[in-house]
Amino acid sequence: MLLTAFLSGLALYSIYRVVIRAFYTVKPNERAVLTSFGRAQRFGDQRVEDPRMTEEERARYRFPRLHVIGPGGPYFKWPWQDVHKVDVATQALDLTWDPTKRQDTIEAVTKDNLTTGVNGQVRFRVAEDNLYPFVFGVADPLQHVMGYFISVLRERIANFSDPKGQGLLTLAPADAQTAAAPASEALGDGAGPDLSEGVSINDLRKNLPLLNAFMEQQCLTTGSRYGIELEAALITQIDPPLEVDRALSAINSTRNQVAADISTARADAEQQITMSKRAVDIATNTAQAEVAPLKELAQTLVGIKGEGGSAALAAYVRNMRIPLLRRARRIVQTTGNPTPNRT
């Protein structure tokens, strides 16, 4: 009786272990890796290759290519086999997520040795073509993901500098003015170089898209190294300490005041230039008005001489003198002698 019960239990366990648990399915957002006695199914000696990796990284991160089971099912496995399922859908996590502690912001040190708070979000997904490091190389993949991305972010913040500000600092003062003038004219604001450039927190605030692009560039090979691909980095907020924030506000106020003074001076100068141009135009028109009758008279005399000869010209001149002689009070006649005779 006891033996029969033992055999019956063994049969039920075998049915449960071999038949019921032998079938499994894979969801559309999942991929599965099957292991036999702990060893994953591989494609021979094939390795994951990534031309973007350096020689040092290729020698360090040499992972085999695994046979990946796609969505569908039911699939069958033997009792000595295990199924490792991975969610390959894109996931989003706040930067403040940390299972080991509670925090409202991520602290990072800038190039100026200032501690600032950073908030944002990262989006990532598991690299389907390189599941080996994610499944077998990382103890806690999610915590590793956040730790890795935060480390990259802190490294970027610690070394970040505004490219525009660096370009102005490397130029000589005369060259910097020459280079800044066309840009200011193109912008049309007349503000000139930004006085707040060179302050690391202010540079970070102004270049958040550039910081996100740097992070994505830094994480291009994470899929080949850790089996995790960064989809996007969205740094949305950088909060400096209160005293630094006050200093930045003072810098911005000074910058606005300088920009306003420059605009006022430029407007006054343009007004003076406009008034000078109008004065020149008035003088030119007056001179042209005085010269025009003389030119007309010269053309008339030329025409009279051309049509009637010198006699007609002398008669015309004599007739024109008559009104003048009537109004003249004194006539001076020159004879060519040093002492002219007066009549």
First to last CA, the chain: 173
**Above 70 in pLDDT, residue 236?**
yes
**Above 70 in pLDDT, residue 318?**
yes
Q: pLDDT digits over 147-182, tens only? A: 888 888 888 888 887 766 554 444 444 444 444 444
**Above 80 in pLDDT, residue 200?**
no
| Tokens 């001149």 -> residue | 317
Burial label, 31 (beta-carbon count in 10 A; 0-12, 13-18, 19+): buried
State how far Cα 152 lies from the chain centre: 20
Rounded to an integer, the average pLDDT of 231-252 is 77
Tokens describing residue 70? 């796609």
Provide the pLDDT confidence category of residue 288 given band limits of 50, 70 and 90: very high
User: How much is the pLDDT for 198?
Assistant: 54
CA-nearest of 32, 41, 109 to 72 is 32
CA atoms within 13 A on the CB side of 302: 6
CA-nearest of 166, 172, 213, 218 to 194 is 166
Tokens describing residue 338? 């040093």
Instruction: Provide the β-strand partners of residue 75.
Output: 24
* DSSP three-state, residue 102: coil
**Above 90 in pLDDT, residue 238?**
no
CB contact at 8 A, 149 and 215: yes
| Tokens 């053309």 -> residue | 299
CA distance 297 to 319: 14
Q: Mind giving me the DSSP string for 126-184? A: E-TT--HIIIII-SSHHHHHHHHHHHHHHHHHHH---HHHHHHHHS-HHHHHHHHHHHH
What is the greatest pairwise CA distance in the chain? 173
Element (H, E) at 85: strand 81-87
Provide the pLDDT confidence category of residue 261 given band limits of 50, 70 and 90: very high
User: How much is the pLDDT for 323?
Assistant: 83
CA distance 59 to 27: 35
CA distance 261 to 255: 10
State how far Cα 341 lies from the chain centre: 90
CA distance 145 to 150: 9
CA distance 148 to 133: 14
**Above 90 in pLDDT, residue 265?**
yes
The fold adopted by the segment(s) 11-164+199-240 is Tetrahydropterin Synthase; Chain A (3.30.479)
Q: Residue 161 contacts by C-beta under 8 Å, 6 or more apart in sequence?
A: 111, 200, 203
Q: Please, what is the angle between helix 141-159 and helix 208-218, to 10°?
A: 130
Write down how long the chain is. 343
